[in-house]
Amino acid sequence: MSKPGTKELEFLQRICDRIQETGELPSQRDLKLQPSFQKRLEKAVRIVENRSVSKYTFTPSGRIVWTVKGRSGEYQTIPETNFCSCDDFYFRVMGFKRQVCYHIIAQKIADILKLYIEHALKDSDYDRITEKWRLKESSASEE
């Protein structure tokens, strides 16, 4: 028996392949192909259209950090692992109810279409950019 939502990543890959081929955002027809995925895909498309995806490239290391501005804040995504720092990831993806949140979908689409804000920074800026997604030392020491 497969995990809940295992077809989501396959569907996302098909959508990404189609975007790669056409160079265009998904059409309304595409958005209706997978009902359980539809709302997240629609939200992701709006995020991309609003240019709410950012790519931070650090030099000289070449590190890359992706962020996506969602409804309730800005989240770090790690596309290679389909990780996102949002609550939906923690509650639904980690709970095996879904395989991806809409922030990951938006990041993947924005990357294919190059519809993101690009930031070139020095490695010395890395801590400043990523500090909001790390546990604070004081809260870690209290546990």
Sequential pLDDT tens for the chain (143 residues): 345 456 888 888 888 888 899 888 877 666 666 677 788 888 999 999 999 999 999 999 999 999 999 888 899 999 999 999 999 898 888 888 888 999 999 999 999 999 999 999 999 999 999 888 775 444 444 44
Residue 143 lies in a domain: no
Count of structural domains, the chain: 1
Residue 138 lies in a domain: no
Residue 91 lies in a domain: yes
Q: What is the pTM of this model?
A: 0.83
Beta strands in 1-143 (DSSP E): 53-59, 64-69, 74-78, 83-84, 117-122
Residue 123 lies in a domain: yes
Structural domain containing residue 54: 6-133
Residue 141 lies in a domain: no
Instruction: Give the helix/strand (H/E) hosting 74.
Output: strand 74-78
